[in-house]
């Protein structure tokens, strides 16, 4: 009996050793794949509002998907296998669907359970704006001034996903050209500036003699981008310091590839 048990134990040991070798090889292969696969930042995609530094974000994000579920325009997606260590983490592809500010509360960051999307920066910005408003009116804010709008205005300017960059050679306005057709070819959602309701972008028909869609549909308007006269009868989008990289300009740009794109803040 003892001899049989010894043989059995040796067989178990050999099997366990073989399994360990296979497991280590698999782990090594995965590690090699993770190292060489493309990251979200490498691909130029944006993190949602409030994302902390990328190295910390990858460990703080628990891939719960709450930010994806709560976004009203479904701007947030989850990274795929080819994104290596970023697999399962949230990002925004502005070519398809930008963050259009229409939630009015930065709720993706507010709902994040680990502060990988850090909401306090928005809350503090809103509180400071309301405090400044109360001080301005000596705590007697007029009925026609809405503190909530002041708060939201400040919160939306408190984050920096990235910054828009213009490719002048690709831009229709630089070449004195206009655009007529659907706002976007894809079925996106957008709340136009000054409006209360969202629209489907492929159902909005536009006709611009000189293309200026990036400036017209920017949620922050002249705080972030204006059309600058080049002095020869043509215009060029001028990105200002107020740009937070929401990606709407990239989403509505009619050229392919877009003449204006948002580079992530850390690039």
11: which residues sit within 8 A by CB, 6+ positions away?
Answer: none
- What's the pLDDT at 29? 45
Instruction: Report the greatest alpha carbon distance in the chain.
Output: 99
> Using CA atoms, how far apart are residues 121 and 131, in angstroms rounded to an integer?
15
Which tokens in the block code for residue 111? 């709902």
- Structurally, the chain folds into a number of domains equal to 1
- What's the pLDDT at 98? 96
Residue 211 included in any domain: yes
- What's the pLDDT at 26? 47
Residue 104 included in any domain: no
Chain CA centroid to CA 21, Å: 41
Residue 257 included in any domain: yes
Chain CA centroid to CA 132, Å: 29
Residue 255 included in any domain: yes
- What's the pLDDT at 28? 47
DSSP for residue 83: G
Residue 30 included in any domain: no
Contact in structure between 100 and 141 (CB atoms under 8 Å): no
Backbone φ, ψ for residue 197 (5° rounding): -105, 145
Strand partners, 238: 226
> Using CA atoms, how far apart are residues 224 and 111, in angstroms rounded to an integer?
27
Residue 194 included in any domain: yes
Please, where are the H alpha helices in the chain?
2-36, 54-60, 66-70, 107-111, 120-136, 147-156, 213-216, 248-252
Look up the pTM and report it. Answer: 0.81
Residue 153 included in any domain: no
Residue 237 included in any domain: yes
Contact in structure between 232 and 168 (CB atoms under 8 Å): no
- What's the pLDDT at 206? 97
Provide the domain limits for residue 230: 162-264
Contact in structure between 155 and 219 (CB atoms under 8 Å): no
Instruction: Tell me the average confidence (pLDDT) per consecutive run of 10 residues in the chain, 267 residues long.
Output: 53 55 48 52 84 91 96 95 89 95 90 95 94 94 92 88 95 96 95 92 96 96 94 92 95 97 81
């Amino acid at each position: 009996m003892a001899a049989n048990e010894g043989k059995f134990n040796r067989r178990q040991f050999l099997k366990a050793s073989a399994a360990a070798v296979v497991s280590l090889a698999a782990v090594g292969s995965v590690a090699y794949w993770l190292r060489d696969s493309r990251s979200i930042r490498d691909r130029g995609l944006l993190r949602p509002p409030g994302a902390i530094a990328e190295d910390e974000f990858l460990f703080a994000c628990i891939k719960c998907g709450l930010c994806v579920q709560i976004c009203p325009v479904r701007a947030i997606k989850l990274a795929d296998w080819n994104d290596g260590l970023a697999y399962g983490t949230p990002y925004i592809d502005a070519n398809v669907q930008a963050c259009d500010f229409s939630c009015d509360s930065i709720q993706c960051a507010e709902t994040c359970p680990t502060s990988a999307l850090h909401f306090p920066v928005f809350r503090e910005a809103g509180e400071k704006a309301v405090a400044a408003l109360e001080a301005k009116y000596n705590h007697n804010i007029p009925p026609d001034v809405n503190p909530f709008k002041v708060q939201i205005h400040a919160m939306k300017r408190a984050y920096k996903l990235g910054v828009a960059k213009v490719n002048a050679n690709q831009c229709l306005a630089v070449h004195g050209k206009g655009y007529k057709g659907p706002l976007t070819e894809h079925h996106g959602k957008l709340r136009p500036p000054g409006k209360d309701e969202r629209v489907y972008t492929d159902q909005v028909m536009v006709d611009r003699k000189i293309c200026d869609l990036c400036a017209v549909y920017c949620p922050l308007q002249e705080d972030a981008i204006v059309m600058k006269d080049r002095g020869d009868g043509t215009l060029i989008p001028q990105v200002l310091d107020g740009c937070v990289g929401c990606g709407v300009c990239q989403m509505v740009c009619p050229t392919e590839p877009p003449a204006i794109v948002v580079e992530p803040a850390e690039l």
